[in-house]
Structure 1
């Protein structure tokens, strides 16, 4: 037998792989760097200018008020309004404001606090209770209540001033603090705001879970729902407090006794002294009193803004 023939086969050479042609490099678009985001917002010169005008328009009266409170009665007439006079009389003006006319300014300040605590505080409580009930409970006539609330928001308060005066006059409540406190308890806008806020801020499932655990409706409201309504409650409180603190027209038609005047009405009576026969002008006290009047409102906004801002975006993101 012959030796086996060994067949050797050489592998065919593998052709080299061709590299894909390199993609042409694109030039960086200079506009790509101009893409804006939340962290890098777009700058607008026009918007900045308009915002600056609004800031100046808002702060200019406050600056004038602060500068005017440092001047005497004579200094107000002999100096430029937006700059300080030759004498700095701020502390003397503050002391004279609280002692002028037997310290009636202190009485007006206490009256205003009374109207705010009972009127604005009561309006906030009623708005929270009513808004929660309208948002989370179904009952006959709910649509009619909604229509009444919207209609009340659309009606200006001055249109109801004369009917309110006639009604309180028949009840014998004019020239008393109740003539200011009772109308202040009604805040249609606050009720509508709490209605909308409670609808989004309180999950219905959370209330159902509390009911399954045996909690009653009062416990659910105070322990579960009320903490969730804190931002909306603070917002309504701020709105009603500012409205009651600056309320001028309602006390003007309801109250004739100066001892029950609020601050706006009392300062207006001081301002009108210059137009009366033999009256002494006290414009420096009017300006100083106006500055003192706005300080509690500024303090309230600064103290409550963290509760207010925490609820501005509530309900904006659905999980």
Structure 2
């Protein structure tokens, strides 16, 4: 009786003896058609170049102007050096002018950013994590309130906030700037969205099964996963607090509690007062010194910031 025939069914099928096994056929790479290649848009390149110029020209002007004397600002071209290079002299005079009040303003700004932006980030992390991972009555109402608060500009709340703080006797104190800075609706919303995708529910359940409480689960499991979002919110709140001008203008009248923005504004305005001294070179130099910490923070935290913005953009 003849043996049954062997049927070839794939690369591993049996082949007759004596014949060499043929190598598996590789799939030819797909040729990219010209339609698949990204097109170069002249209009988009032009618009991007204009935005780049709009962003960089003020910084370049600031850097060149900080190297000039008071007279050099008016007699030279704004985007080039003057004959006298006075950058180091301007920096020294900025820190010593008016009994060194610039240093006091710098420390005040660091205080407002440290307590205000740091506290706002911490509260946003706690609130965003709770809204993303816990179900409780009124959750939809909280979502509506947060979205509505994001749409309200901060300047619209400055006067009502001043009236409320004046009744409590907190105006012209650091708390009048720190306490309103603790509220960041956009930071809360951003952490809410980020925590929804960044912290898996299965990981939290595993921690609870191992006996970890909610506080321990948050600090040991969820917090490391939320690091990119935390850095992103911290950058936004830090920049907002560092550049805040209108709220301190409404709340403070004592120059000893001014932040850098309000202090440099007072230096710039004293040239228009009777007998006031024009110190535009110090204003420009102080402005350059003001943006250096922000640039350094963005460069150091750039990778966390970019990953935080992209989180949740792709759903698997």
Same fold (TM over 0.5): yes
Is residue 286 of structure 1 aligned with residue 280 of structure 2?
A: no
1:34 corresponds to: 34
- Residues 142-151 or 95-104, more deviating: 142-151
How far did 1:188 drift? 0.6
> Of 148, 158, 163, which residue of structure 1 is paired with 2:145?
148
Aligned-pair CA distance for 1:94 = 0.4
Of the three residues 82, 87, 97, the one matched with 2:84 is 87
Instruction: Report what 1:225 is aligned to.
Output: 222
1:103 aligns with 2:100: yes
CA RMSD of aligned residues (A): 1.3
C-alpha separation between the residues in 2 aligned to 1:186 and 1:313? 24
Aligned residue for 2:53? 56
1:174: which partner in 2? 171
Further displaced range: 156-165 or 255-264: 156-165
Unaligned 5+ segments in structure 1 are: 1-30
2:133 and 2:32 mapped to 1: Cα distance?
Answer: 49
CA offset at residue 33 of structure 1?
A: 5.0
Mark the CA change 1:312 to 1:97 in structure 2 (over 3 Å): closer, same or farther: same
Aligned pair in 2 of structure 1 residues 49, 301: CA closer, same or farther (>3 Å)? same
- Confirm whether residue 210 of structure 1 aligns to residue 215 of structure 2: no
> After the TM superposition, which segments of 4 or more aligned residues of structure 1 sit over 4 Å from their partners?
none
* Among candidates 131, 154, 158, match of residue 161 of structure 1: 158
In 2: Cα distance, 1:298 partner to 1:78 partner: 30
Tell me the distance in 1 between the aligned counterparts of 2:102 and 2:70: 18
Q: Which residue of 1 aligns with 2:259?
A: 262
The alignment status of 1:192 with 2:189, answered yes or no, reads yes
Given candidates 300, 308, 313, the residue that maps to 1:303 is: 300
Distance 2:305 2:262 in 1: 30
Find out whether 1:124 has 2:121 as its counterpart. yes
> Structure 1 residues 210, 49: CA separation in 2 closer, same or farther (over 3 Å shift)?
same
User: 1:236 is matched with which residue?
Assistant: 233
Q: Deviations over 1:171-210 (max 9, x none)?
A: 0000000000000000011001111111111111111111
Provide the TM-score with structure 2 as the length reference: 0.88
CA distance in 1, matches of 2:290, 2:310: 31
Which entry has the higher C-alpha Rg, 1 or 2?
A: 1
| In structure 2, distance between residues paired with 1:217 and 1:32 | 52
Q: For the residues of structure 2 that align with 1:168 and 1:107, how far apart are their CA atoms?
A: 24
Listed as ranges, the gaps of 5+ residues in structure 2 are 1-30
Residue 277 of structure 1 is matched in structure 2 by 274
TM-score by length of 1: 0.87
**Equivalences, count:** 286
SS in 1 for 2:207: helix
1:70-125 per-residue CA deviation (whole Å, 9 max, x = no partner) reads: 00000001111111111110000000000000000000000000000000000000
Deviation at 1:50, TM superposition (A): 1.1
C-alpha distance 314-88 of structure 1, shift in aligned 2 (>3 A): same
Q: CA deviation at 1:215?
A: 1.1
What CA distance in whole angstroms lies between the structure 2 residues aligned with 1:71 and 1:315?
A: 48
Distance 2:288 2:133 in 1: 43
Shift of 1:248: 0.3
Q: Distance in 2 between matches of 1:80 and 1:313?
A: 42
- With 136-145 and 97-106 compared, the bigger mean Cα shift is at 136-145
Q: Tell me, in whole angstroms, the C-alpha distance in 1 between the residues paired with 2:41 and 2:34.
A: 13
